[in-house]
Amino acid sequence: MIAAGITAIAKKFKQPYPIALVVIGAIIGLVRIPGLEPLKDFITEAEIFNFVIITLFLPALLGEAAFKLPFSHLKENKKPILALAFGATLLSFLIVGFSSIWLLNLSIPTAFVFAALMSATDPVSVLSIFKSVGAPKKLATVIEGESLFNDGLAVVLFNISAFYLLTYLDLGIEGAGYGLWEFIKVISLGLIVGGALGYGFSKLTKYYDDYPLEIIFSIILFYGSFLLAETVGASGVIAVVVAALIFGNYGARIGMSPTTKLNINNFWEVVALLANSLVFLMVGLEITRINLADKWGLVFIAIFIVLIARSISVYASLAFVRNFPAAWKHTINWGGLKGSLSIALVLSLPRDFAGREDILILAFSVVLFSLVVQGLSVKPLLARLGVNKKEEGNREYEELIAQGHRLETAIKEIQHVQNNLLIHEAISKEITDRYKQELVELRQKTELLLKKYPDLKNKQQIILQKHSLYAQYEAVDNLLKEGIISNEVAQQEHDRITDEIVHLESPQEPV
């Protein structure tokens, strides 16, 4: 209830709700509230938090994001996504790791565990905030693709650093070979598990046209691929992302009706909103459990290291990608947020792991800085860089619409006053004729503008068509309520209308 309330208020004021949830969560964690204390203690237990974030919510959030990501968009932006997801992640991991040994005096395993936590952008944080600030579609696709794939890479690096690094170091060159093999094996197995299950469930949808059942298939697929991959020693994150991508693209094409796609999308959108709201509130609560006494110096150095490593890795990895706007590079750099996954991973460390408390304090501090300071400044940064400016011709079109609406309202008001006060038409005619002439000129300007910018015209037509289809859907409902048509005919018409709505929303996909 608290999470939903904060989310609703933040959305009403058009602010990124994840940040509001973290801040309010931290306040709730710091203030003693009668009746909430047992729940707070339960939620902030390391095992509970880790289970809820990684096992309960992460597959759903990753699955929802990957399911809705068109493969064509990934293909179009594969160079920047691969450069960031692999090149930037590995480079950041190395820079943070070696810098932490030198500047923070951490042991080698401790430094590289911290580096793994900080090397990837958290998909939960990034996707939520960038959706709320209105980033351009292509930029959002790059950021989404990076956060989905580098997240899996970071988990693999974390597990190797936390559980195998010392062994590999002891074995020297042979150990380095084992480490590389472990890295390749975990990622490859994740791809295989996710690919096989995604393909299998996609084929299964061909035999059913029943969206409640197909929603259940998607639940089983997302959680099943994650848990199966983890069981066989693969990356669960990579498995669920690959499975959801195949299911949302190949499966949707060969076995899902538009009605099914719309309903699955709606179902996972609700699940993702609920999961996101709870995740960020829990992050805020969990952050209050750390003790920063005498650690401020280390915290500031850690934040500095992470920011510098992110900058170097982003600009270096994108240097080889041609025609990639500089403003987008700046946005991706500053928008590389850390979040709930980093906290969940550090809490999963064994309690006897050397340096666990240091990593805990540093990771929590960087996450808090990332979500609050970077998260709040992403929107102003986009505006300053001109990244989220509206499409060409949009402002001019809005001005013409506003002027036209003013004039039409003025004419109606003059007619209303004339009728009520019995003013003769000869008195008002001169004013209304002038307004009408201005309206004619505005319409001519609007027609020229729409010819100049065809995309603007198409977008307006899509809006009109969608409103028309919603009205048709309601009209069929009214006929059903009045008993004029049967349930069967109403369902048939509803499906046709839904198919048209889906086609409008995703014209690149065949219906």
Q: What is the pLDDT of residue 424?
A: 78
Residue 130 pLDDT > 70:
no
Q: What is the pLDDT of residue 399?
A: 84
Distance CA 206, CA 214 (A): 10
Q: What is the pLDDT of residue 507?
A: 44
Q: What is the pLDDT of residue 511?
A: 33
Mean pLDDT across 414-443: 84
Mean pLDDT across 180-201: 93
Find all residues with CB under 8 Å of 413, minimum gap 6, and list them. Answer: none
What DSSP letter does each residue of 317-366 carry, written as one string? HHTTSTT--HHHHHHHHHT----HHHHHHHHTS-TTSTTHHHHHHHHHHH
- More confident: 509 or 448: 448
Q: What is the pLDDT of residue 380?
A: 83
Q: What is the pLDDT of residue 242?
A: 96
Q: What is the pLDDT of residue 264?
A: 93
* Region of poorest pLDDT, from 7-21, 105-119, 492-506: 492-506
pLDDT in tens, 19-30: 888 889 888 888
Q: What fold, for 74-382?
A: Na+/H+ antiporter like fold (1.20.1530)
CA-nearest of 203, 247, 206 to 223 is: 247
Residue 139 pLDDT > 50:
yes
- More confident: 453 or 125: 453
The pLDDT confidence band at residue 213, using thresholds 50, 70 and 90, is very high
What DSSP letter does each residue of 277-317 carry, written as one string? HHHHHHHHHHHTT---TT-HHHHHHHHHHHHHHHHHHHHHH
> How many CB atoms lie under 10 A from the CB of residue 510?
8
> How many CB atoms lie under 10 A from the CB of residue 101?
16
Q: What is the pLDDT of residue 129?
A: 65
Residue 508 pLDDT > 60:
no
Q: What is the pLDDT of residue 125?
A: 61
Q: Are 72 and 252 in contact (CB under 8 A)?
A: no
Query: CA–CA distance from 52 to each of 60, 67, 225, 416, 436 (Å)?
Result: 11, 21, 17, 61, 62
Amino acid in position 337: L
- More confident: 167 or 5: 5
User: What is the average pLDDT value for the chain, to the nearest integer?
Assistant: 86
* Region of poorest pLDDT, from 93-102, 121-130, 158-167, 206-215: 121-130
Q: What is the pLDDT of residue 169?
A: 67
Q: What is the pLDDT of residue 237?
A: 92
Query: CA–CA distance from 56 to each of 67, 154, 277, 346 (Å)?
Result: 18, 19, 14, 17
Distance CA 499, CA 509 (A): 12
Q: Which two tokens stand for residue 40?
A: 């707070």
The pLDDT confidence band at residue 217, using thresholds 50, 70 and 90, is very high
The pLDDT confidence band at residue 388, using thresholds 50, 70 and 90, is low
Q: Which two tokens stand for residue 64?
A: 């929802």
Residue 183 pLDDT > 60:
yes
Question: Residue 223: phi, psi to the nearest 5?
Answer: -75, -35
Distance CA 476, CA 423 (A): 45
Mean pLDDT across 449-469: 82
pLDDT in tens, 246-300: 999 999 989 888 888 888 999 999 998 898 888 888 888 887 777 777 788 999 9
Mean pLDDT across 174-181: 78
Q: Which two tokens stand for residue 18?
A: 């994840």
pLDDT in tens, 303-329: 999 999 999 999 999 998 888 889 899
Q: What percent of the chain has pLDDT over 90?
A: 32
Helix, strand, coil percent content, the chain, rounded in steps of 5: 80, 0, 20
Q: What is the pLDDT of residue 390?
A: 57
Place of tokens 């690096």: 157
Query: CA–CA distance from 289 to each of 115, 282, 347, 374, 375 (Å)?
Result: 22, 11, 12, 22, 22
Query: CA–CA distance from 179 to each of 118, 153, 164, 169 (Å)?
Result: 20, 14, 8, 9
